[in-house]
Amino acid sequence: MHVTTVGLDLAKHVFQVHGIDQDGQVLIRRQFRRGELIGFFRRLPPCLIGMEACSTAHFWARELASLGHEVRLMPAAYVKPYVKRSKSDALDAEGICEAVTRPTMRFVAIKSSEQQAALMLHRTRDLLVRQRTMLVNALRAHLAEYGVITPQGLPSVPKLIELAEKARGTALPELAWRCIRLILAQIEDVHGRIGQVEQEILAWHRTNELSQRLKTIPGIGLITASALAATIPDPSSFRSGRQVPAWIGLVPRQSGTGGKVRLGHISKQGDRYLRRLLVLGASTLMRHARGRTSVTARWINGLLARRPASVIKTAIANKLARVAWAVLQDEQGYRAPAAAAA
């Protein structure tokens, strides 16, 4: 008998392998160092390999698939029920091997290195934006101690700097000004780096046909379109558009028993970055819908007449996710409801 299914527990240096044959008999239960792993799978006949979707899983999936194996990634939360009592690498690998054979298991699409690079651009931009926000908040807090304040928001920072320069030497001591100048230099540097990353995202967007189609959807701009195109490489992994907002965490959490189902707040499971971008896009649509007469604006205004704005914002984000899936499935861009009906 030969190995047909392998459960691989990933780590940084030590990897655990659990292999079984078609009858479920355990043939391999071994631990490998990082340098030994590729050599072992190169000697192994082509088989099914299951792994948990983690930070390094896509790299190893591409490496093992190039050797002729069939690799499937699974969310770690879906593997957990198959892990037996206690916690060890051997038990984790055995649970992965069991989970990958289940007919109802849901799998994660393997990303290419180019898609991971595009997502890295978004993570870098998100990190730099958070750093800029921290610096601006520190600048406001320091200057507020000397009575120098302006309205909130990034556009009011130049006015804040102007007021600080006027207060220099009077209300603002020279020593404090030197500290403020260091923070201003950091803000300017981070702001420039954010611009560089956004130019890289724009260049990637212009070369990606999926991202260009997604940008035609109202409420989805350059950043959201490129993030969706890089995160969802294969829209056919979702059976319907309803699964996309559920995957992102934009659907109510269910709690039910005895035939009684209660819907709570949104689950907030899945990709929080995509969820935030879609909610921001929904806020823009909701703000511009007031006083408009288009089909989408009438739908949004009708909802606003019956429900709170925060609930409507989530509903619009949910719909944006479903529309994005439909555009990814189609060969054309977004078509307005009236045009689609015609």
Can you give the CATH number for the domain in which 29 is found?
3.30.420.40
Residues of the domain holding 196: 113-207
| Burial grade of 122 (CB within 10 A; 0-12, 13-18, 19 or more) | buried
Please say which residue of 172, 207, 242 terminates a domain. Answer: 207
Estimate the share of the chain in helix, then strand, then coil, as percent rounded to the nearest 5: 55, 15, 30
Q: Are 128 and 135 in contact (CB under 8 A)?
A: no
121 belongs to a structural domain: yes
265 and 236 in one domain? yes
pTM recorded for the entire structure: 0.88
Helix axis angle, 157-167 relative to 174-207, nearest 10°? 160
12 and 77 in one domain? yes
| pLDDT tens sequence for the chain (342 residues) | 699 999 999 999 999 999 999 999 999 999 999 999 999 999 999 999 999 999 899 999 999 999 999 999 999 999 999 999 888 999 999 999 999 999 999 999 899 999 999 999 999 999 999 999 999 999 999 999 999 999 998 999 999 999 999 999 888 999 999 999 999 999 999 999 999 999 999 999 999 999 999 999 999 999 999 999 999 878 888 889 999 999 999 999 988 888 888 888 898 888 999 999 999 999 999 999 988 888 888 889 999 999 999 999 999 999 999 999 999 988 788 887 765 554
228 and 203 in one domain? no
Among 232, 25, 16, residue whose Cα is nearest residue 111: 232
304 belongs to a structural domain: yes
> For the chain, where are the alpha helices, taking DSSP H only?
34-43, 57-65, 76-79, 89-99, 113-144, 157-167, 174-207, 209-214, 222-231, 243-248, 272-289, 295-304, 309-329, 337-341
235 and 193 in one domain? no
315 and 226 in one domain? yes
323 and 227 in one domain? yes
Residue 82, token pair as written in the block: 């198959």
105 belongs to a structural domain: no
60 and 27 in one domain? yes
108 belongs to a structural domain: no
213 belongs to a structural domain: no
Instruction: Give how many domains the chain has, as a whole number.
Output: 3
- Exposure on the CB side of residue 293, measured as CA atoms within 13 A: 0
Residue 257, token pair as written in the block: 């028993």
The length of the chain, given as a count of residues: 342
Please say which residue of 99, 134, 162 terminates a domain. Answer: 99
> For 33-88, where are the alpha helices, taking DSSP H only?
34-43, 57-65, 76-79
Count other Cβ atoms within 10 Å, centred on residue 85.
5
49 belongs to a structural domain: yes
216 belongs to a structural domain: no
Among 220, 212, 265, 269, residue whose Cα is nearest residue 244: 269
227 and 199 in one domain? no
Q: How far is CA 167 from the centre of its chain?
A: 44
Among 98, 54, 59, residue whose Cα is nearest residue 79: 98
Whole-number Å distance between alpha carbons of 223 and 276 = 11
Q: Residue 170 in 3-state DSSP? A: coil
Among 69, 5, 63, 13, residue whose Cα is nearest residue 38: 63
Residue type, 246: A
Please say which residue of 74, 99, 124 terminates a domain. Answer: 99
257 and 332 in one domain? yes
122 and 20 in one domain? no
Q: Are 151 and 216 in contact (CB under 8 A)?
A: no
pLDDT of residue 269: 87
95 and 117 in one domain? no
333 and 235 in one domain? yes
107 belongs to a structural domain: no
pLDDT of residue 342: 47
